[in-house]
């Protein structure tokens, strides 16, 4: 496997009018850390969701982990998702249960139904989940209900859940957008750490350009659904940036 | 028009404003309400003179309720326990049955198709049949006593609980569902870990509320033969033992208010 993600002419339309992705082609190698920039509505979130198969491309081909997402049956697509962690802007945790229970849901794909439905996880899974909660710095919050945690702590629980899946790919959709600048750095540092230590391929949507430049070597940019930049950080010129973030009159 | 305006004020032309509801419309509405009141009251032979004529009998009734016959308190308690058991059993059976089938009536689980519409219709139909009517039906099936009462309570409660449970399921935050999908969870696992934790407090709250209502229904069911404190009330009335009736009515008041208070507190604690 040379490319862990390979999109060929991917187009995604939401009828009747919206074209969220337009003829996107890109190759991503295992272990890369990629920042995705662009205005909101440019197609960043849609791109991440076509990678984990929660959205299917209208046209084109999406190969992820050597599987053609369009060609495989639904059951296989669900099985593939355990290899792809997802971190959300709004955390998407189950607030009424504990941090540990939330992280353990990351192990669902590895367990038989009787374990996941009864909530009787193996000791190994419990050890793994608490290990990752400690890794994200929440060793004293393991049994706490998530709605008692702060926003920054909740996002770290969500990161622990995603890495507890032991994924090969980690997708993060604006994971810092609900957090203040300092917490944003912590989130990105954690993603960077898991990228370096475990070799997990990370794709992160960032709307703050400065953070994107600091944390990733490769940057890709979307504009109105099209891929308008793909290259190393230092090749991203001022003109390019201006073009990516330019708001045209008819957009307002 | 100009007569009312003083000399110092400049002359202004004030246009007439026509209200949306004219006086005629208001008059028609008022007439209709009065007509409906008269029509319904004449239908039920409502009569103020008769009411006044009846006042001495009411007073007599109240006078004979005093002093309360405290000696029956023990047997009243025994019957109160039966009423509570009746309400509790009916509520629990209804909750257990409603819980799984309410998922079939939730749009976010089963889509917007015929299944959801059929289930919603069944719940509504069930709710529209009063427990009293169901009780008469079950008495003819399984005989007199608390058992037909429990069946009636349970069946009648399913309609309301099923509908409320389905609404609770539809009201959950969608974020965790998407997160669980991304983890590679199946539909059952999504229900278990994303929907149930969010919906269970509402399930408990609605069940407690239904229990409050069922206590009242259970008392009335007792009147028609399901046993419990309601049955005791009719017995003493028929035997003209009004001093015992006082105790029964008092215990009913305390029971209903006590259960309401307790349930309200519990519901506040879970939500």
Is A170:A87 a contact under the CB 8 Å cutoff? yes
Cα B42 → chain centroid: 29
Name beta bridge partners: A8: A61
What's the token pair of residue A138? Answer: 């929440």
Name beta bridge partners: A227: A222
Identify all chain A residues contacting B178, using CB atoms and an 8 Å cutoff. Answer: 54, 88, 92
Beta-carbon separation of A161 and B200 below 8 A: no
- pLDDT the model gives residue A246: 84
| Sequence-distant (≥ 6) Cβ neighbours of residue A235 within 8 angstroms | none
Q: Count residue pairs from A and B with Cβ separation < 8 A.
A: 79
Sole residue written with tokens 């009147």 = B223
Topology adopted by domain A1-83+203-252: Rossmann fold (3.40.50)
Name beta bridge partners: A33: A202
Torsion angles phi and psi, residue A42, rounded to 5: -80, -15
Q: How large is the C-alpha radius of gyration of chain B?
A: 28
The chain B residue lying nearest A79, using CA atoms, is B184
Which helix (H) or strand (E) segment holds residue A107: the answer is: none
Cα within 13 Å of Cα(A128), Cβ side: 18
Beta-carbon separation of B178 and A82 below 8 A: no
Domain assignments of chain A as residue spans, ordered by start: 1-83+203-252
Torsion angles phi and psi, residue A201, rounded to 5: -70, 125
Interface test with B, best of A93, A94, A167 (most B CBs within 10 A): A94
Q: Give the lowest-confidence range in A26-35, A98-107, A207-216, A222-231.
A: A207-216
End-to-end CA distance of chain A: 44
For chain B, list the domains and their CATH numbers.
70-270 (1.10.3720.10)
Sole residue written with tokens 């639904």 = A74
Interface test with A, best of B168, B182, B205 (most A CBs within 10 A): B182
What's the token pair of residue B165? Answer: 């449970």
Beta-carbon separation of A92 and B179 below 8 A: yes
What's the token pair of residue A109? Answer: 């794909």
Mean pLDDT of A94-106: 94
Which of A52, A106, A113 comes nearest B188 by C-beta? A113
B239: left (phi over 0), alpha (psi -120 to 50) or beta: alpha
Mean pLDDT of A37-61: 92
Structure-model confidence comparison of residues B9 and A171, the more confident one: A171
Per-residue pLDDT of chain B (271 residues; tens, 9 = 90+): 445 555 666 778 888 777 777 788 889 999 999 999 999 999 898 888 989 999 999 898 888 888 988 989 999 999 999 999 999 999 999 999 999 999 999 998 888 889 999 999 999 999 999 999 999 888 888 888 889 999 999 999 999 999 999 999 999 999 999 999 999 898 899 999 999 999 999 999 999 999 999 999 999 998 888 888 999 999 999 999 999 999 999 999 999 999 999 999 999 998 8
Would strands A169-173 and A201-205 be described as parallel, antiparallel, or unpaired?
parallel
Task: Check whether A115 has a pLDDT greater than 70.
Answer: yes
Torsion angles phi and psi, residue A59, rounded to 5: -135, 160
Query: Which residue, among B209, B236, B203, B233, has the nearest Cα to B221 in the 3D structure?
Result: B233
Which of A54, A90, A97 comes nearest B181 by C-beta? A54
pLDDT single digits (tens) B98-154: 999 999 999 988 888 899 999 999 999 999 999 999 998 888 888 888 899 999 999
Sole residue written with tokens 């309301």 = B160
Mean pLDDT of A164-192: 91
CA distance A126 to B22: 73
A51 three-class SS: helix
Strand order in the sheet with A201-205: A84-87, A169-173, A201-205, A33-37, A218-223, A226-232
């Amino acid at each position: 496997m040379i490319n862990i993600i390979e999109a060929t002419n991917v187009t995604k339309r939401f009828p009747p009018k919206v074209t969220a992705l337009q003829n996107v082609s890109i190759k991503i190698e295992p272990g890369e850390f990629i920042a995705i920039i662009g205005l909101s509505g440019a197609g960043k979130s849609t791109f991440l969701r076509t990678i984990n198969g929660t959205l299917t491309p209208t046209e084109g081909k999406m190969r992820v982990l050597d599987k053609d997402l369009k060609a495989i049956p639904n059951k296989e697509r669900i099985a593939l998702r355990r290899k792809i962690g997802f971190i959300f802007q709004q955390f998407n945790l189950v607030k009424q249960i504990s941090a540990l229970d939330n992280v353990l849901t990351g192990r669902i794909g590895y367990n038989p139904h009787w374990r996941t439905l009864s909530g009787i996880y193996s000791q190994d899974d419990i050890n793994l989940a608490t290990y990752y909660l400690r890794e994200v710095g929440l060793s004293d919050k393991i049994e706490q209900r998530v709605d008692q945690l702060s926003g920054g702590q909740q996002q770290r629980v969500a990161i622990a859940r995603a890495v507890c899946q032991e994924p090969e790919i980690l997708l993060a959709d604006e994971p810092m957008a609900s957090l203040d600048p300092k917490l944003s750095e912590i989130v990105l540092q954690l993603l960077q750490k898991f990228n370096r230590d475990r070799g997990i391929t990370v794709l992160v949507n960032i709307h703050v350009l400065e953070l994107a430049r600091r944390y990733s070597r490769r940057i890709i940019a979307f504009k109105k659904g099209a891929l308008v930049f793909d290259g190393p950080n230092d090749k991203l010129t001022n003109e390019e940036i201006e073009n990516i973030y330019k708001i045209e009159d008819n957009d307002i | 028009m100009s007569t009312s305006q003083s000399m110092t004020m400049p002359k202004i032309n004030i246009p007439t404003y026509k209200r949306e509801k004219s006086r005629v419309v208001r008059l028609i509405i008022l007439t209709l309400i009065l007509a409906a009141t008269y029509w319904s009251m004449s239908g039920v032979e409502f009569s103020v003179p008769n009411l006044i004529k009846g006042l001495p009998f009411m007073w007599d009734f109240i006078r004979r309720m005093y002093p309360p016959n405290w000696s029956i308190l023990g047997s009243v308690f025994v019957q109160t326990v039966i009423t509570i058991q009746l309400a509790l059993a009916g509520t629990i059976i209804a909750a257990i049955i409603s819980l799984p089938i309410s998922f079939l009536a939730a749009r976010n689980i089963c889509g917007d198709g015929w299944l959801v519409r059929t289930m919603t219709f069944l719940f509504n139909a069930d709710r529209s049949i009063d427990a009293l009517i169901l009780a008469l039906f079950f008495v003819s099936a399984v005989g007199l006593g608390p058992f037909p009462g429990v069946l009636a309570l349970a069946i009648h409660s399913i309609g309301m609980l099923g509908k409320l449970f389905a609404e609770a399921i539809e009201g959950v935050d969608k974020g965790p569902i998407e997160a669980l999908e991304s983890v590679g969870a199946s539909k059952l696992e999504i229900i278990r870990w994303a929907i149930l934790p969010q919906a269970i407090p509402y399930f408990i709250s609605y069940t407690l509320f239904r229990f409050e209502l069922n206590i009242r229904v259970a008392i009335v069911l007792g009147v028609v033969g399901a046993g419990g404190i309601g049955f005791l009330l009719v017995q003493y009335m028929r035997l003209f033992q009004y001093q015992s009736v006082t105790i029964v009515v008092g215990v009913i008041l305390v029971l209903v208010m006590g259960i309401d208070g307790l349930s309200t507190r519990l519901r506040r604690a879970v939500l």
